[in-house]
Chain A
Amino acid sequence: NAGVTQTPKFQVLKTGQSMTLQCAQDMNHNSMYWYRQDPGMGLRLIYYSASEGTTDKGEVPNGYNVSRLNKREFSLRLESAAPSQTSVYFCASSFSSGGEQFFGPGTRLTVL
């Protein structure tokens, strides 16, 4: 039981490049989330998927897109990376509404 996994662990991009961050969970959770963590700002929700087939914007969705590929996988795409998107990205999942969110190990992204 791996829990929540994320790939890659580290990534360096140049301004304007695109990339997709992958997230998968093996806990049969219904809901999945993408957060970014910046120093002094806590965790901010980018997008979430309450259940397979649905996605909704969080606090800071601009510059990102998501795909809930199936119940296990939820990807985050940066179409044209900007230096302001330099951050640590965490994926999380929860079984249902009101439940504990389990976090992945994070992806450290640097945009030059």
Chain B
Amino acid sequence: GENVEQHPSTLSVQEGDSAVIKCTYSDSASNYFPWYKQELGKRPQLIIDIRSNVGEKKDQRIAVTLNKTAKHFSLHITETQPEDSAVYFCAAGKGEYGNKLVFGAGTILRVKS
């Protein structure tokens, strides 16, 4: 089955700096890669996703890149702000019936002001 590894487990950055979180996956058939943000005590919420027919996707300060050959994808947050502090999860799945996702273990991002 699919296995998703996520690094680093914790990341501290200064406000205004960039943050990068990386994930690798094992199943070459996976074609859907979402990123979720979870604030303390809250539910996970989708912040951006990418499909395997696209190499990069941006949404304001957030971008995701995908390297299908190497089977890894990354989340990039630019100009970080204190409200970006949260736990971020990557996931991988097949865009087929049922859309079963496998999640990474999460990255705790702390933005210091």
Contact = CB atoms under 8 A, between A and B. Distances in A.
Interface of A: 31, 40-45, 48, 50, 56, 58-59, 90, 94, 96-106
B14 to A, nearest CB: 25
Interface in B68-111: 89, 91, 93, 95-106
Contacts of B6: 42
Interface size class of B (residues with CB under 8 A): 20 to 34
A57 to B, nearest CB: 10
Contact of A100 (B42, B46, B105): B46
A94 B99 CA distance: 8
Contact of A101 (B46, B51, B95): B46
Given A90-B43, A97-B95, A102-B46, 9 more contacts: A31-B99, A42-B105, A42-B106, A50-B97, A96-B99, A97-B96, A98-B93, A103-B45, A105-B42
26 contacts: A40-B106, A41-B105, A42-B6, A42-B103, A42-B105, A43-B89, A43-B103, A45-B101, A48-B98, A48-B100, A58-B100, A59-B102, A90-B43, A96-B99, A97-B95, A97-B97, A98-B31, A98-B95, A98-B99, A99-B99, A100-B46, A102-B46, A103-B43, A103-B44, A105-B43, A106-B43
Interface of B: 1, 6, 9, 31-32, 34, 42-46, 49, 51, 89, 91, 93, 95-106
Nearest to A96: B99
Contact of B44 (A31, A43, A56, A58): A43
Contacts of A58: 100
Most buried by B among A42, A59, A90, A98: A42
